[in-house]
Structure 1
Amino acid sequence: MVVFSFLFGVVFGSFLNVLIYRLPKNISLIKSSSCPNCSHKINWYENIPLFSYLYLKAKCSSCKTTINYRYFFVELMCGLLTLLLYIDFSFTLDFFLYALFFYILIVLSFIDIEYKAVPDYLLIIIFIFSFFCTNYPFFQALKNACLFAGFFILLDFILSFYIQNIKYKLLKDIKLKTQKALGEGDIPIISIIGIILGLKAGIVAIFLAGIFAIIPSIYNLILKKDTQMPFIPFLVLGFLFEFFLNISSKVFS
């Protein structure tokens, strides 16, 4: 069953890759898969999760264009997360609720990485769905969401004011004149962290997200690359780290 849970996650990871690629482009989900470069129809044996990526050596069998690493990484990540959920919850209702919840977070993260924006309807879906996943009573969960969202809206206002008025004048960079500190999609994800983890663990998760985001930020600063980074992936990473840490501490306590 442990192996099955991993394979279960890997298969869903393959479908998540379809969502990540097609949702922002408004491409039908029932359309057969093809190479985005040469339109080569992908055969069934070229579409086996994990295996096909390695078998094809990360290249299209027709035009030899490199296949994005994301396809392999998302499948592997989904497999490992599903495996961890099975270890903690077995095949219970909580397992399926959290699995679906995490899958949506993965889709949001990778869309944000590529486009630095995410579909509003996915944010609404996962926000509503988070109330079915939390162990907190509805009004307590809603209170946590409002506290987290309210604080970060205020933080966004303060940081954006600094970027647009002080940093802009110091660096003479016209791009900073309209730059926001936090994206609109970050606030719902922050609220969801409060809904699921509560105040104390939620604060730790967001602190971890900030720590995780520092390394690529410093890297971009050194190389003088585009400093605007998607924050949702780091929020999700901090959330997952704290979520499984809390589950483990409860199991071994």
Structure 2
Amino acid sequence: MLSIIYFFLGASLGSFIGLVCDRFPEESIVTPSSHCSFCKHSLRFFEMVPVFSQLILKSRCRFCQKAIPYRYLFIELFCGIVCLLFLHHFLDFAEAYFIIFSLCLTLFDLKHQSYPLVIWLLGTTPLIFLGNFYLTFTLGLALAILACLKHLNIGEGDFLYLASASLIFPFSQILLAIEIACLLGLIYFLVSKDLKQKIAFVPFLFVSILFLTFIK
């Protein structure tokens, strides 16, 4: 029973993250109520049960039958599983929190190739109290400011993300994560064969940190 509760708490958090990434900063995250993006039908409570509503409705709107993107189902499942891993001590609280926070930043970066500073500030503030690698955090902030002022090839958002990660992961793991992320980015470039395109780098950093977290 406790596992079910934790899973649905995580899935509900994932549903909220999906809403925030869809609306913020262009729209309010409070109003209007959750609705279909196509026909604007306001969702009833039984249409908003994380994971199960999409499975029962086959990821389609009950009224207009337009397909609901599978990313919402993925986000809910992912966050639910992260909470289960925390419950069963595969992750500590700081790691579970950072992984869910990272997913939010990753979705923003994929959508805009940036993310609102307010999202980073709100998500990072709890990490300041959970972490202890403050010197590395300060270095990440300094590099983010430098990237903003000097317009470096790597965006300030990437350094801000690394600064957040450095609060709970040691410097050696951060360096290894950067190396893995660069390798993943290079592979992506070679596969896509479009060497002039700009890519979101936070997703590669997220995947690399996720990988290192589970092989520790």
TM-score (norm 1): 0.73
Counterpart of 2:177? 205
Alignment: residue pair count = 215
- The 5-angstrom pairing of residues 126-141 of structure 1 reads 126-134=123-131, 136=132, 141=133
Counterpart of 2:113? 116
Identity value in percent: 28
Is contact 1:24-1:111 (8 Å) kept? no
Q: Tell me how far apart the structure 2 counterparts of residues 157 and 208 of structure 1 sit (CA, whole Å).
A: 27
Indicate whether 1:80 and 2:81 are aligned: yes
Counterpart of 2:135? 143
What amino acid sits opposite 1:35 in the alignment? C
Is contact 2:109-2:115 (8 Å) kept? yes
Taking a change above 3 Å as real, the CA distance of residues 43 and 151 of structure 1, as seen in their structure-2 partners, is closer
Q: Tell me how far apart the structure 2 counterparts of residues 215 and 61 of structure 1 sit (CA, whole Å).
A: 40
Q: Tell me how far apart the structure 1 counterparts of residues 175 and 148 of structure 2 sit (CA, whole Å).
A: 16
Indicate whether 1:191 and 2:163 are aligned: yes
- The 5-angstrom pairing of residues 18-97 of structure 1 reads 18-88=19-89, 95=93
Indicate whether 1:239 and 2:204 are aligned: no
Give the deviation of 1:156 after TM superposition: 9.7
Q: Tell me how far apart the structure 2 counterparts of residues 199 and 36 of structure 1 sit (CA, whole Å).
A: 43
Taking a change above 3 Å as real, the CA distance of residues 206 and 86 of structure 1, as seen in their structure-2 partners, is farther
Q: Tell me how far apart the structure 2 counterparts of residues 225 and 114 of structure 1 sit (CA, whole Å).
A: 20
Counterpart of 1:107? 104
TM-score (norm 2): 0.84
Indicate whether 1:9 and 2:18 are aligned: no
Is contact 1:156-1:182 (8 Å) kept? no
Q: Where has structure 1 moved over 3 Å in runs of 4 or more?
A: 97-102, 146-158
Counterpart of 1:228? 198
1:47-68 deviation line (CA, Å, top 9, x unaligned): 1111122222222222222211
CA RMSD in angstroms comes to 2.8
Q: Flag the structure with higher helix content.
A: 1
2:22 is paired with a residue of what secondary structure?
helix
